[in-house]
Amino acid sequence: ILEMSKALVEYGVTAFCPTLYPQEHSKFIACISAIKDAMGKEEGAKIFGANLEGPFISREKHGALDPKFMIPVDLEKMKQYNDASGGNISLMTVAPELDNIHELALYCAKQGIVLAAGHSNATYDDMMEAVQAGILHSTHFFNAMRRLHHRDPGVVGAIMIYPNIACEIIADGYHLHAAIVKLLRRVKPIHKIVLITDCLRPTGQKEGKLMANHEEVYLKNGLFIRKDDDTIAGSALTMIRGVKNLVEDMDVPLEDALRMASCNPATVISRQIETGYIMPGRDADIVVFDEDYNIRMTMVRGDIKKIAE
C-alpha cells in the first residue's frame, strides 16, 4: 500500500482510497487492517481510508469479482470491518436491493461511511428507496448494474433522474462510450460526476500477461482482461489520462474535467474542507501538467513529491 502511495504521485495523484474486493473473511479483515496501519506513514499520496467494493453486493452483477464471496447484509461483519479499519472506511459499494440495507445505511451514516450503489440488480423502486435511506453515490456508473430500459429504468435510470446521486465514471473509452459521458453531462449536475480510474496494481507495466488480484490477466489496449473468461477485470487508466480523455475525446471543458478529478471526489467522502480546492486553509495538494498532459510536478500538503527534470 505504501508503495502504491509513492507510485501514484508519478501520475499526479495526491490522495487515494485503496480499494478492496470481496474475499475470504479473515483475508478481508487483514487487508482492511493493513490500510489502517499504512495511514500516516505515506511518502507519496495520502491515504483517505479504505474503499470496500462489497461484499454486500449482487451475485447477478458480480462483474470480474468472485460471486462466492458476495454475502447478504450482515451488521456484525460490518462492525468487524469498521473495527479493523479503526474507523477509516471512507466508502463502501452495496447492492440496494438486498435485505436489511436500511439498517446497514443507518449504521454507516453514524460511522461516517459513504454507501454507493453498485454491482447491483436493483429496480428503479429499490434504488429510490435506497436514496431515502441515504445512499447518494454510485460505483462505476453503468458497469455491473441493472441497465436502463423504457419499461424498467433500473439503477441507471434512477441515478440519471435523481440529481443528488453522485456517479463515478471510468473515462477510458472502453467502460463507457464517449456519447454516454456526453449524455450524462446533460442530465447530471457537473458537481455530481466523479472521475475514477478503476486501475489495478500492474497499471503502468508493459502489455502482456500479468498477475492482478491473485489471478492471471492480460493487459491490452489499456484494459486488464481475465484469462479464464475474457471478462474485463479492470482498467489501466491513470487519473491524468482520464482527464485528457474527457477533454479530447468527450468534449468536456478542462475546468469541468479537473473538478471531476479533484473537488468532486473530495466532496463525496467529506474531505472538501482539507483538499480538492486551491484555497487558503486547504492542504497544498497541487499538480502541474503541461499541454500534453505530462505531469511536471506533484505536491502533497506543500511537499514536492515529484518534479520533472
| CA distance to 82, 91, 222, per residue, from 107 (Å) | 10, 13, 38
Given 236, 263, 293, the domain boundary residue is: 236
Query: For position 236, what pLDDT does the model report?
Result: 79
- Phi (first) and psi of residue 108, to 5 degrees: -65, -35
Shared domain for 223 and 123, answered yes or no, is no
Residue-wise pLDDT tens digits, 130-176: 999 999 999 999 999 999 999 999 999 999 999 999 999 999 998 99
pTM: 0.92
In this structure, what CATH number is given to the domain that contains residue 81?
3.20.20.140
Give all strands (DSSP E) within the chain, no chain letters: 15-16, 19-20, 46-47, 50-53, 89-94, 114-117, 137-138, 166-170, 193-196, 208-212, 215-220, 223-226, 232-235, 286-289, 295-300, 303-307
Catalytic residue among 126, 172, 198, 283: 198
Shared domain for 136 and 225, answered yes or no, is no
Shared domain for 245 and 260, answered yes or no, is yes
Residue-wise pLDDT tens digits, 29-64: 999 999 999 999 999 999 999 999 999 999 999 988
**8 A C-beta contact, residue 54 and residue 119:** yes
Given 236, 259, 285, the domain boundary residue is: 236
pLDDT (mean) for 238-251: 96
Shared domain for 123 and 46, answered yes or no, is yes
Query: Which of 64, 40, 33 minimizes the C-alpha distance to 225?
Result: 64
Shared domain for 119 and 219, answered yes or no, is no
**8 A C-beta contact, residue 95 and residue 46:** no
pLDDT (mean) for 3-32: 96
228 given a catalytic annotation? no
287: which strand partners?
298
Shared domain for 131 and 206, answered yes or no, is no
Of 79-88, 214-223, 267-276, the range with the lowest mean pLDDT is 214-223
Parent domain of 278: 2-199+237-307
Shared domain for 8 and 62, answered yes or no, is yes
pLDDT (mean) for 239-248: 97
Shared domain for 109 and 220, answered yes or no, is no
- Arithmetic mean of pLDDT over the chain: 92
In the block, cell 473530495 appears at 266
Shared domain for 92 and 167, answered yes or no, is yes
DSSP string for 59-70: GGG-TTS-GGG-
Given 236, 257, 292, the domain boundary residue is: 236
Shared domain for 155 and 21, answered yes or no, is yes
Of 25-39, 161-175, 227-241, 287-301, the range with the lowest mean pLDDT is 227-241
Shared domain for 92 and 228, answered yes or no, is no
pLDDT (mean) for 168-194: 95
Task: Give the count of domains, the chain.
Answer: 2
Grouping H, G, I as helix, E, B as strand and the rest as coil, residue 229 is: coil
Shared domain for 56 and 131, answered yes or no, is yes
